Amino acid sequence: MPIATVNPANGETLKTYEAMDEEELERRLQLAQATFRTYRTTAFAERARLLNRAADLLDEDGPEIARVMTTEMGKPVKQARAEAAKCAKAMRWYAEHAEALLTDEEPAEADVRDSGASRALVRYRPMGPVLAVMPWNFPLWQVVRFAAPALMAGNVGLLKHASNVPQTALYLEDLLHRAGFPEGCFQTLLIGSGAVDDLLRDERIRAATLTGSEPAGRAVASTAGEMIKKTVLELGGSDPFVVMPSADVDRAAEVAVTARVQNNGQSCIAAKRFIVHTDVYDRFAERFTEGMKALKVGDPLEEDTEVGPLASERGRDDLEELVDDARRGGASVLCGGERPDGPGWYYPPTVLAGVTREMRIHREEAFGPVATLYRAADLDEAVLIANDSPFGLSSNVWTRDEAEVDRFVRDLEAGGVYVNGMTASHPAFPFGGVKRSGYGRELSGHGIREFCNITTVWHGA
């Protein structure tokens, strides 16, 4: 895949970049290794000063980098500005909290004595250069939620970003450099996906994190496992959105629209499967379909656009194939389902009903504004449908019954359960999934410790 900015609203290639040659890649690996030796000894206060400065610069750059993101991958520009602001918020959060999250831990005094020690503690130390393989759908946020905690922990980062967002990738390196981070603390590698395997095999790379597709996750995990290197994987999702009779159905339907089409529907944590109790199914389906129909699809640089184009022609083709397969299998198309004429990789907000287990869309992730509706007779069937997926990233449940909430929290196979609201990431809460949605956690204290050497320090009596 060429490294280029191609505007998904019209298919126009705006900028192209040459991939880095082996000599430049080697120079950057050496720089990362050398920088880590000194950066790892910096004080938390200095790292926090630099990260806060980066947040301030990002706030200043927000409107400009938002337009870049929109031009590269098609999200509505209002959402792009919100993404930039969210990144600045996460930087400040880690600048404020990292030292406390990584403070030395002292075991219970009785356990210290029992071990024969006069003193003992657990210390979190940085690991070294970490390779981040990141996707295009949230081209700033996906990187910052790795980079902010990694840098605050004393690690250095090497970014292999998606090949269709090179300007955003280069901006991130420039941002952190302007903030005052040493040159080798965070570097963007303009390389193709074929170069990732060699990087993972390089002894200077100590760990890796990937957000992306299941095949990409398998490839990275396989090589990293062979080299015995730590990885964190955040892969696909097909999140359930369950609505029970006690819920505020109108509010649930309203939120469901946003939960499905955020980021043009190209989000791993977007709700995709809407599982509704039969007692309120008809009402929800009507309200939800009306909301999907009412969305404005158009130029993502226009302020009132709610759904822009998909990021690539291939992505639209894949989505269209899932819808066509469901239609052939007997699913009903309540709205959308037809590719529009004209330039750009647009696909309309679409609602499918009558989806069965035999249809591809039941078990594959629909990465675009397509929702599937399921009818559940009771809570048990709702849980069965929700868990009948190879993915387990997050989930949404709508109910006012606390006993039902307890059941969903206990039984849903997911890394998160959001009650009477939609899934959203926040720096204070751990984020990640189970099953084929990956392993490990980002954000919160759990995320910053993923790439730390958790060290036992024991002193004899």
Q: Which amino acids are annotated catalytic?
A: 234, 268
SS3 of 11-64:
CEEEEEECCCCHHHHHHHHHHHHHHHHHHCCCCHHHHHHHHHHHHHHHHHHHHH
- Residue 358: CB partners within 8 Å, gap ≥ 6? 329
How many residues are present in the chain?
461
Neighbours of 402 (CB within 10 A): 9
The pair phi, psi for residue 195, each rounded to 5°, is: -85, -10
What residues does 241 pair with on adjacent strands?
274, 396
Residue given tokens 């292999």 in the structure block: 160
Q: Which two tokens stand for residue 440?
A: 């490990």
Q: Are 235 and 438 in contact (CB under 8 A)?
A: yes
Task: Give the type of residue at 295.
Answer: L
Cα 90 to Cα 14, 95, 272, distances in angstroms: 30, 8, 26
Q: Which residues of 423-437 are buried (b: 16+ CB within 10 A; e: fewer)?
A: bebebeebbbbebbb
Tell me whether strands 156-160 and 129-133 are parallel, antiparallel or unpaired: parallel
Task: Please give the Cα distance from 135 to 459 (Å, whole number).
Answer: 45
